Copies of this chain bind each other. A is one copy, B any other.
Amino acid sequence: MNLDYIIPNNWSIIEEEFNPDQVKASESLFSIGNGAMGQRANFEERYSGPTFQGSYIAGVYYPDKTRVGWWKNGYPEYFAKVLNAPSWIGIDVFINEEALDLFKCKKVENFKRELNMKEGWLLRSFNATLQNNLEVEVVVKRFLSLDMDELGVISYSVKPLNASANITYQPYIDSGITNEDSNWDDKFWDTLSVSQKDTSAFIQAKTMKTEFYTCTFMESELFYNDKKLNITPDVDKASTHIAFAYSTKVNQGDVLSIHKFGGYTVDRNHDKYELVTAAKAVLDKAKHLGFSALLENQKQAWARIWDMADITIEGDVKAQQGIRFNIFHLNQTYLGTDARLNIGPKGFTGEKYGGSTYWDTEAYCIPFYMATKDQSVARNLLEYRYNHLQKAIENAEKLGFSNGAALYPMVTMNGEECHNEWEITFEEIHRNGAIAFAIYNYHRYTGDYSYIPEKGLEVLIAIARFWHQRATFSTDKNKYVILGVTGPNEYENNVNNNWYTNYIAKWCIKYTVENIERIESEFGIDYTRIMNKAKLSKSEIKDWMEVAEGIYFPYSEKHEVFLQQDGFLDKELITVSELDQSQRPINQKWSWDRILRSPYIKQADTLQGFYFFEDHFSTHELEQHFDFYEPFTVHESSLSPCVHSIQAAKLGRMNQAYTFYLRTSRLDLDDYNHEVHEGLHITSMAGTWMSIVEGFGGMRVKNDKLTFEPKIPEQWDAYSFKVNFRHQIIKVNVCKGHTHFELEGKHDLEIIVNGKTILISPNNLVTV
């Protein structure tokens, strides 16, 4: 770990010191979101120290013109950027005309931040001594409403401690913002109007190129010792900024508070000409309810989420804090209520990875959402890709494929590819496999086959076509090969016969054909419709199967393992443990060629295949591969430790599983990869959930039944989780020596625990 300042706590993320060097990290860690918008933990008042400002609106992005030295045919014309949105949180605070700025204060004491995950709010408090020697106590609480997802709420109070003072609150909204990652301080927002109505303010702005229309709004109320004040503010209006100044004298020991309501209305939800009207309605409702009622609603909304999604861990507060941090941020990022949205790798906590959707969604996030939400949420995520099928076909055409073959983009906002490194964009094609696997996984878990004849099979056919065309025949090997790919381990580029890619390609074709056959026999009408629409013939299917059956897998007889790719054994096989620690992380220390020719693995690659297709291999085979590859794995991808934790648990290596669990669950809290200041790793947080449920709990679905092989790390006294399985909720509570199962539902359910069938009945505790 690289940071160790977060105070362990079961339900809260807590920081108890003000350290300018860790402000950016904390801005990430204490981020808040509500699925529709997000806000880094930037201070409301001025701050002149190093900071990374970030306000984000779901689905609002910018197609930045890409510029690379040497253009390659087929590159997309833009690289999507997560956009820093107009700021709604700002409140300048002047105390006897000195601006409050923690970077400039003489003294800052009792500084505390708390992100209360149980109730969904962020608190900050401190005592500060200003340059003018006035001492003040400041308390700030804010949250993004789950109930009203266009609304954010702030309560900000100042108490002068050593003298009376004139205090001015100057709440503002501002659209003159830039992205931290912009190359030349480019502006991405075009401000259309700045307007005021009484004590409300509105800035209408649209994004350039994409023309997303937004209205950023605010209104404020002042309180003197909880008594509402009616002060007419001075208004300061500029081309991209509007501020109201409220000034009053505050006696020593009294408290002046401001409640600021703000947020965004966007044209995804309203007519673009009605955004101010919609904003007014939000403000009216917010004022009517008031801060306390809104906060109470927030607590209740989070209580409903936790009731289903919580995982408890007893006896290990850091582990408990870690898993809740993961579950909390996943729910802040994506609630599954809008099928047009998806789960960005950094959620609403940073700009990096400029697109919202990666294969992370299918490979890592879907199991979490299937088990902790209604299954319609997972189906929404599948439909997101179904809706992008035509664009995936066009994407494949740009790369020379034909006949309806689809290559889903590596990174996308709207179905188009928006990333341009040839080794990723063109070659990291295994992503197509994850999209097919998610369809399989959804059906396996939910038992809902209807998605496949209705929509999924069209996606599968297009993917099977891609693999059929992408494989080529090697006369030298007398096998089909897949040349020039990047596997999940992105520390290898343009390799031949990546085992994972070849394996999932074969699986995709075979799974597609199985479904075609099933639909032919069970869903005749759908079958005819789909075959006609796809212009698919039996002879084409036969051609696919020839490739699937004839595909090559590199294998080492000596090591008894499949090789990650052709030539893997030519590397200098020096394990990570033998590597000088000063060289880590290698992605920050080594040039790319050195990384590529090394044996080091960024994240599970061959082992990712063993995770997806566990049933295809024996435990002995898993062990062979784990022991061969894990020692070369640097886990510099956030997606790596969770898969390794699950596999270590399966192999009964509980200490190793526990270490990987801590690494995945506290990846950001402890900043393992030196990058938390850039934002959090949201999608891997779903992997953390899997490492408990699938890893320690050993949960699988086999033949339409939930199965468990519960294990518990020796560091824990007990842990529990709930899963929603086919409209019933199973609560699993694992203690040392026994496991309790409870069913919230209406029908008896057979589950399999350690190989034995157990019947559980509604509201009846079963202990195994």
Indicate how many identical chains form the complex: 2
The closest CB in chain B to the CB of A65 belongs to B183
Smallest CB separation, A636 vs chain B (Å): 13
Contacting pair B494 A493 (CB below 8 A): yes
Complex interface: chain B residues within 8 A of A68 (CB): 67-69
- Could you tell me the distance between the alpha carbons of A472 and B571 in the complex, rounded to whole angstroms? 7
A69 engages B79 (CB within 8 Å): yes
CB < 8 Å neighbour of A483 from B419, B481, B573, B597:
B597
Contact check: which of B72, B566, B569 meets A567 at CB < 8 Å?
A: B566
A426-B593, A593-B399, A597-B483 known; A421 and B73 CB under 8 Å? no
Cβ-defined contact, A74 with B592, below 8 A: yes
Within 8 A of B (CB), among A564-578: 566-567, 569-573
From known contacts A399-B591, A426-B592, A593-B484, infer whether A569 and B474 are also in contact, taking CB-CB under 8 Å. Answer: yes
Contact A420 B69 (CB under 8 A): yes
Residues of B within 8 A of A493 (CB): 493-494
Judge whether A317 is part of the interface by a CB distance below 8 angstroms: no
B-contact bits for A572-612, CB 8 A (1 contact / 0 none): 11000000000000011111111011000000000000000
CB of B72 within 8 A of CB of A592, answer: yes
Q: A426-B592, A494-B494 are in contact. Are A570 and B79 (CB under 8 A)?
A: no
List, in ascending order, chain B residues with CB within 8 A of A567's CB.
483, 496, 566-567
Residues of B within 8 A of A587 (CB): 73
Q: Is A70 located at the chain interface by the 8 A CB criterion? A: yes
**Which of B183, B481, B594, B597 touches A67 (beta carbons < 8 Å)?**
B183
Centre residue among A70, A79, A419 by max chain B CB count within 10 A: A70
Residues in B whose Cβ lies below 8 Å from that of A496:
567, 570
A591 touches B72 (CB 8 A): yes
User: Would you call A209 an interface residue if the criterion is a C-beta within 8 Å of the partner chain's C-beta atoms?
Assistant: no
Tell me, rounded to whole Å, the shortest Cβ–Cβ distance linking A415 to chain B. 18
Other-chain residue from B183, B573, B589, B590 in contact with A475 (beta carbon distance below 8 A): B573
Mask of A482-522 contacts with B, CB within 8 angstroms, 1/0: 01100000000111110000000000000000000000000
Nearest-CB distance from A486 to chain B (Å)? 10
Chain B contacts for A569, CB-based, 8 A: 474-476
Q: A535: CB under 8 A from chain B?
A: no
Contact A591 B183 (CB under 8 A): no
Bound form: Cα–Cα A421–B69 in Å: 8
**How many A residues are at the interface, by size bracket?**
35 or more
Q: Are A591 and B70 in contact (CB under 8 A)?
A: no
Q: A483-B570, A567-B567, A571-B483 are in contact. Are A494 and B596 (CB under 8 A)?
A: yes
Q: Are A588 and B472 in contact (CB under 8 A)?
A: no
Residue A473 at the chain B interface, CB threshold 8 Å: yes
Determine whether A227 belongs to the interface, using a CB cutoff of 8 Å to chain B. Answer: no
Cβ–Cβ contact A472 & B422, under 8 A: no
A66 within 8 A of B: yes
* Contact residues in B for A591 (Cβ distance below 8 Å): 72-74, 398-400, 422, 426
A599 CB, nearest partner CB in chain B, Å: 10
A477 to B573, CA, bound (A): 13
How far does the Cβ of A499 sit from chain B's closest Cβ, in whole Å?
Answer: 15
A617 within 8 A of B: no
Residue of B nearest to A483 (CB): B597
Query: How distant is A62 from chain B, measured CB to nearest CB, in Å?
Result: 14
- Measured between beta carbons, the chain B residues less than 8 angstroms from A420 are 69
A630 at interface, CB cutoff 8 A = no
Query: Which residues of B are found within 8 Å of A422, using beta-carbon distances?
Result: 591-593
A427 within 8 A of B: yes
Give Cα A567–Cα B563 distance, bound, in whole angstroms: 15
Q: Nearest Cβ distance between residue A598 and chain B, in whole angstroms?
A: 9
B73 & A472 in contact (Cβ 8 Å cutoff): no
Closest Cβ neighbor of A558 among chain B residues: B476
Which residues does chain B contribute within 8 Å of A593, judged by CB atoms? Answer: 399, 422, 426-427, 484
Report the nearest B residue to A354, measured CB to CB: B69
Interface pair A572/B73, CB less than 8 Å apart: no
For A426, A476, A566, which residue has the most chain B Cβ atoms within 10 angstroms? A476
Tell me the A521-576 residues at the B interface (CB within 8 Å). Answer: 566-567, 569-573
Measured CB to CB, the nearest residue on chain B to A587 is: B73
**Closest residue of B by beta carbon distance from A400:** B594
Nearest B residue to A186 by beta-carbon distance? B184
A388 to B711, CA, bound (A): 63
Q: How far is the CA of A112 from the CA of B204 in the complex (A)?
A: 59
Q: Using A74-B591, A593-B427 as known contacts, say yes or no to A477 and B79 having CB atoms under 8 A apart.
A: no
B592 A473 Cβ-Cβ under 8 A: no
Q: How near does chain B come to A106, taking the closest CB pair, in angstroms?
A: 40
Q: Chain B residues with Cβ under 8 A from A483's Cβ?
A: 567, 570-571, 596-597
State how many angstroms separate the Cβ of A566 from the closest Cβ of chain B. 6
Q: Mark A54-86, 1 if CB is under 8 A from B, else 0.
A: 000000000000111110111000010000000
User: Complex Cα distance A473/B73, Å?
Assistant: 37
Enumerate chain B residues within 8 angstroms of A427, measured Cβ to Cβ: 593
Return the CB mask of A421-442 against B: 1 if under 8 Å, else 0.
Answer: 1110011000000000000000
Complex Cα gap A567–B477 (Å): 10
**Nearest CB to that of A481 among chain B residues?**
B570
A419: which of B69, B183, B476 is its contact (CB, 8 Å)?
B69
Q: List, in ascending order, chain B residues with CB within 8 A of A597's CB.
A: 472, 483-484
Nearest neighbor of A568 in chain B, beta-carbon distance: B476
Chain B residues with CB under 8 Å of A70's CB are: 421
Residue of B nearest to A68 (CB): B68
The residue that A472 contacts in the complex, of B400, B472, B476, B572, with Cβ under 8 A, is B572
A588 to chain B, nearest CB (A): 7
Q: Is the CB of B183 within 8 A of A592?
A: no
Provide the residues of chain B in CB contact with A497, threshold 8 Å: 570
Residues on the B chain within 8 Å of A419, using CB: 69
Nearest B residue to A426 via CB reads: B593
Q: Which residue of B lies closest to A79 (CB)?
A: B69
Tell me how far the C-beta of A118 lies from the nearest C-beta in chain B, rounded to whole angstroms. Answer: 38
User: Contact: A484 with B596, CB < 8 Å?
Assistant: yes
Q: Which residue of B lies closest to A485 (CB)?
A: B593
Q: For A588, list chain B residues within 8 Å (CB).
A: 73
Beyond known contacts A399-B593, A493-B494: 9 more, CB 8 A cutoff? A69-B79, A398-B591, A422-B591, A422-B592, A475-B573, A483-B571, A484-B596, A496-B567, A497-B570
26 A-B pairs whose Cβ atoms sit less than 8 Å apart in the complex: A66-B69, A67-B67, A68-B68, A69-B79, A73-B588, A73-B592, A184-B184, A399-B593, A399-B594, A400-B594, A422-B592, A423-B494, A426-B591, A473-B572, A474-B569, A474-B571, A475-B569, A476-B569, A481-B570, A483-B570, A483-B597, A484-B593, A493-B494, A494-B494, A496-B567, A496-B570
**Which 8 pairs, one residue from A and one from B, show the smallest C-beta to C-beta distance?**
A74-B591, A426-B593, A476-B569, A484-B597, A483-B597, A474-B570, A72-B592, A422-B592
